[in-house]
Amino acid sequence: MRFFSTTEAAAVLNVDPSRVRMLCKLGRIETIKVGNTYGIAEDVLEEFATQERRPGRPARTPRNRQSSILPVEPNVFSSNP
């Protein structure tokens, strides 16, 4: 069984090595870790490469935010008392 480094896997997947490291860290690619290096099995890499994925960044989910603009009472800034 052959193992790929993140740099080699990035070349196979046509992505940046930092993206492969992030996928490994998130557990999306099954790896073994030897010291500071991830090892990705050849069959695992082939399986991941053949998965159908949507291109681009995922859509943002709306957050339940309150407006950052605070209401101001009328005539607060007027110079007349």
Per-residue pLDDT of the chain (81 residues; tens, 9 = 90+): 899 999 999 999 999 999 999 999 999 999 998 888 899 999 999 999 998 877 777 777 776 655 566 666 766 566 665
Give every CB contact of residue 43 below 8 A, 6+ residues apart in sequence. Answer: 1
**Looking at residue 4, what is its pLDDT?**
95
Which tokens hold the place of 53? 């994925």
**Looking at residue 53, what is its pLDDT?**
76
The answer to whether the CB of 42 falls within 8 A of the CB of 2 is yes
